[in-house]
């Protein structure tokens, strides 16, 4: 709220942050793989999985992967 007031006073525009898709929906994984593909990664799915395992840990990532596969 305070940032909105300051932005109005200074004439700046506020760019609203996009909400991320729900964890476990598989949409975040798809977004990451498409981003990695654009960057020229040879195997974007494998790299995205490695990033996910590092970020969430092996057990939690396995649960998310299983949940995403069901959908």
pLDDT, tens digit (0-9, with 9 covering 90-100), for 8-19? 667 767 667 788
pLDDT at 42: 95
pLDDT, tens digit (0-9, with 9 covering 90-100), for 16-34? 778 888 888 889 999 999 9
Distance CA 50, CA 6 (A): 41
Q: Please tell me the pTM assigned to this model.
A: 0.67
Q: Could you tell me the two tokens for 38?
A: 């654009």
Domains of the chain by residue range: 20-70
pLDDT at residue 44 greater than cutoff 90: yes
Confidence of residue 36 (pLDDT cuts 50, 70, 90): very high
């Amino acid at each position: 709220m305070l940032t909105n007031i300051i932005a109005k006073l200074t004439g700046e525009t506020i760019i609203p942050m996009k909400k991320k898709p729900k964890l476990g929906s598989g949409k975040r994984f798809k977004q990451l793989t498409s981003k990695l593909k654009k960057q020229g990664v040879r195997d974007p799915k494998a790299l995205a999985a490695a990033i996910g395992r590092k970020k969430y840990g092996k057990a939690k990532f396995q649960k998310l992967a299983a949940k995403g596969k069901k959908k």
